[in-house]
Structure 1
Amino acid sequence: MKQVFFTLFALLLSSVAFSQSRFSNNEISINGFRNPSIGVEYRHKQISVHAGYYITAFESGVTTKFIKTGVTAWFLPVGKKENPSSFYAGVSYLRGINLDYKDQNALGMEAGFRWMVWKGLNLRIGGIAVASKGHDLKINPTPGISYSFFF
């Protein structure tokens, strides 16, 4: 399962080179929910970096918390808006801060779609695979809401 996910991730990232660049040069996003984290993100053209607080539920009713930082590639812009909706794929470092993941390192790999709703308001839907030593691979949905400033 891990090898399939890593292969899919590599294919998604390789498509960045073939994507027509319609992205703004710079963007700062304030992320209010889960995807990529509750925090900030800076994008330059088709690559972004993010950092923040990440929560997820690997089990129903149990919230696992992490500090998360990573890099994302943006590709295949959709629509005719000045700041188009697009697909993304990213990789992140997660540091557990509670429960079974407390003080443990994890690798997150995610992919999904960001819909530019209105001006800077955007919604994301995707999925993340979280791998950590001593734990089974976990795959969860990653909804998100953000507001972006373009310059």
Structure 2
Amino acid sequence: MGSAAFAQSRFSRQEISINGFRNPSIGLEYRHHAVSFHAGYYPTNFESGVTTTFVKVGTTFWFLPIGQRENPSSFYASVSYLRGLSREYENENAAFVDAGFRWMVWRGLNLRIGAGLLASPGKSVKLNTTPGISYSFFFN
């Protein structure tokens, strides 16, 4: 593999992200080195045209930073607790695990794509795509 692919071997010391769409949630995220914590509102569609909503808090682990940029793109894996706000999940607890890739588009603008599994007692496990758009502020 070329040295360009792995030129960035570490993340900035700290990052604060404003997450504007779904992944990890519509809310805030704070990262310290390769671990972040997030909290926010999480809408999802298990079926077309029907939105189910949650409050979501969790932890994300970042790994394999890619590229030569100061703030590299990278892979992630996340685990979260959800509390249902609507439909069949209202006032129900759930767990969510997902993994994917974050592409640093320009400065702090980044896009995420991944897949996750949502599990809740007494309900079938749901597979979910996890797209996201965020803007991040980095601190070294």
**TM-score, normalised with respect to structure 2:** 0.93
- Deviation for aligned residue 1:21: 4.3
Contact (CA 8 Å) 1:21, 1:46: kept in 2 or not?
A: no
Correspondence 1:93 to 2:69: no
Identity, % of aligned pairs?
A: 70
Equivalent residue number for residue 76 of structure 1: 64
Question: Where is the helix percentage greater, Structure 1 or Structure 2?
Answer: 1
Which residues of structure 2 form unaligned runs of 5+? 1-7
Cα distance in structure 2, aligned partners of 1:129 and 1:79: 29
Per-residue CA shift, 1:30-84, capped at 9, x if unaligned? 0000000000000000000000000000111110000000000000011110000
Please identify runs of 4+ aligned residues in structure 1 that moved more than 2 A. Answer: none
Contact (CA 8 Å) 1:68, 1:95: kept in 2 or not?
A: yes
Distance 1:21 1:47, change over 3 A: farther
How many residues were matched structurally?
Answer: 132
Which residues of structure 1 form unaligned runs of 5+? 1-19
Equivalent residue number for residue 137 of structure 1: 125
1:1-150 aligned at under 5 Å gives the runs: 21-150=9-138
Cα distance in structure 2, aligned partners of 1:139 and 1:130: 7
Question: Where is the strand percentage greater, Structure 1 or Structure 2?
Answer: 2
Cα distance in structure 2, aligned partners of 1:90 and 1:142: 11
Task: Name the SS of the counterpart of 2:117 in structure 1.
Answer: strand
**TM-score, normalised with respect to structure 1:** 0.86
Calculate the aligned-residue CA RMSD, in Å.
0.8
Cα distance in structure 2, aligned partners of 1:128 and 1:100: 19
